[in-house]
A and B are shown apart, each in its own frame.
Chain A
């Protein structure tokens, strides 16, 4: 055990700041600030251990650090080092070195892997999370304002296998809310523009494209058969319909799904992560809204063709997409404890004061789709 410490270099992790308070009666308070997560941890330890922390921050061997702190590697010191390692404060050697992922991929995503290390504390957990991302296949349905932004950010976090579907072509107004090269791609299917985006951003991507609209007649099985996770942003013919149809498939096949926001009155809505048998499903959400909005009945609007007259901002689409991708990332970080990744509910970010209007949604035990499992 002790030899393990001496066999490799021991480093203070880059993502941790250490504040050492003046010693008092041979002991020191030490505050650890984890920069990525803003987590704070305060301990009281022997003054010599505080000196050891200062020495570990230097570019030198552990033996040299121990000597400077006048410490031997006894059981007490080993326990202190184990504590530092367990909390993600120190790491042996290069914490993200791995044979599980290509070196060029690690180079592209190393900053994210450092972030994962901040969250997960242990290098092997951070590497395993990134490996799950590397291997996963994400299905994205709908490649408009939020779908294209989600796709862009999924590439940024390291996903590389995609199945994408949309029926529309790139139009000039897509310049206002998508990252597509609209000047070059105008008139082409959005699937083609999205594939080019993926090719430019992701690491050696593999992409399947489907030019189709989701109707009651659409066979969705070929689209979804390899899905590790489904993301729905398709709001044609109606987002409530597409969410329910996909959610029922996801339940049957035990695949998580994100019902993304970003449309009409939900321009900066947070994505809802639907984990089969853990969170509410799309049917639960539909029942919830039906019940809670039953007394809110807007009059028929006098303008019949309204869809082109709703507002939208690229910044709100990017925000909505980012929160959806954070949900996805959270799911891949916590595969064994899916409840840690999601809880039922919806949030609506408000542009005027940046507040978040949230409410929670519980699983419906009478839900026709997921309630039977509960019973």
Chain B
């Protein structure tokens, strides 16, 4: 008999089952993530069962109701195994506890990647993640806002600035936050969204050195799980190098968010120390390309520049960083960060993201050792 005897399976509500022109062929469309796959059915009884699979009957009851023979029972068992693994079926008894969960939409979304019986462990990694966001300005404030919407509870925010009027055009701050530290404004925003849910450690310092960041990470009560660099002062290269060094010292993955001054449309890489190209690998490769294009040219730079930016591009940059963070937290085998070894430019006219791929640099001071030449 099947291992599924007591499960009350149903076709997940966000999955469509559609007949295709070829006889016996059907498409499963996971609408939340717009992914589909086809299956060929030799016996229409399985489609009859799927069409009525509303979570009201156990596997055993299904076998009885449809009068399945031994071969059909084995077939149904195998079919359910495959469809559970592909996130098409779920046990209604287990998922119904989600009905009143304020983050049920997020769980439902993740359930398109993680099978129903492994969703809780994936969710635990999300909700108990501790995200360290360095820089709480235009992109950083958006990143914190979006991660909190995922249900992530623990944040450490590092920023030494206060909210000014010209910040309001692309950060999530309002007039009521003017003059207050950005980290404090974000902590208050999260508290107003869900009482006593989020824990925020605010650090009103400028990012100065890897040692400073390492100390901060090691002192944290909840072990940090992801670092996100949203700081671009004095330059994004400067801050990213610091974050990289601290991340390697503490073996924590990090994301370079993008959307900075001068890089409004940049979508930065995600780095898992020792596994994917790091900041130095990517910088080295970029320098090689940049040197070809600009070799010998003198760069004219004005000091104290007021560069342009707009809110929607900050939101878009932050959305990519948030997605990457979720993928890191949910983790393999369900979600793989897209930006590992990649750097992107979002074209705000075509809305398309162009990705450049980078490899590990075999002379990288951080991850060069052991890289095959």
Contact = CB atoms under 8 A, between A and B. Distances in A.
B356 interface: no
Interface in A302-326: 302-304, 306, 308-316, 318-319, 321-323, 325-326
B146 A315 contact: yes
Given A19-B298, A301-B16, A308 B104 contact: yes
Interface in B249-273: 262, 264-265, 267
A311 B32 CA distance: 6
Contact of A319 (B105, B193, B319): B319
Contacts of A350: 33-34
Interface in A9-60: 12, 14-15, 17-22, 31, 35-36, 38, 53-54, 57
A200 B300 CA distance: 40
Interface in A158-200: 158, 172-173, 175-177, 179-184, 197, 200
Which label, helix, strand, loop or mixed, suits the secondary structure of the A interface?
mixed
A352 B338 contact: yes
Contacts of B345: 38
Nearest to A55: B300
A308 B338 contact: no
Contacts of B309: 36, 111-112, 114-115
Contacts of B165: 104, 107-108
Nearest to B305: A14
Taking residues whose C-beta sits less than 8 angstroms from the other chain, chain A's interface range is 35 or more
B166 A301 contact: no
Given A118-B308, A311-B32, A352-B338, A301 B13 contact: yes
Contact of B149 (A110, A298, A302, A314): A314
Interface stretch (A226-234, A247-255, A263-271, A276-284): A263-271
B58 to A, nearest CB: 15
Given A183-B191, A326-B312, 19 more contacts: A12-B302, A14-B305, A14-B306, A20-B300, A108-B165, A111-B306, A111-B307, A111-B308, A111-B309, A115-B308, A157-B169, A158-B169, A176-B106, A176-B151, A302-B51, A309-B12, A312-B105, A319-B316, A348-B34
17 contacts: A17-B301, A19-B300, A31-B297, A108-B166, A111-B169, A112-B169, A180-B193, A181-B189, A183-B192, A183-B193, A298-B18, A299-B51, A310-B32, A313-B149, A322-B311, A354-B344, A355-B353
Interface of A: 12, 14-15, 17-22, 31, 35-36, 38, 53-54, 57, 104, 107-118, 149, 152-153, 156-158, 172-173, 175-177, 179-184, 197, 200-201, 264-265, 267, 270, 295-304, 306, 308-316, 318-319, 321-323, 325-326, 329, 347-357
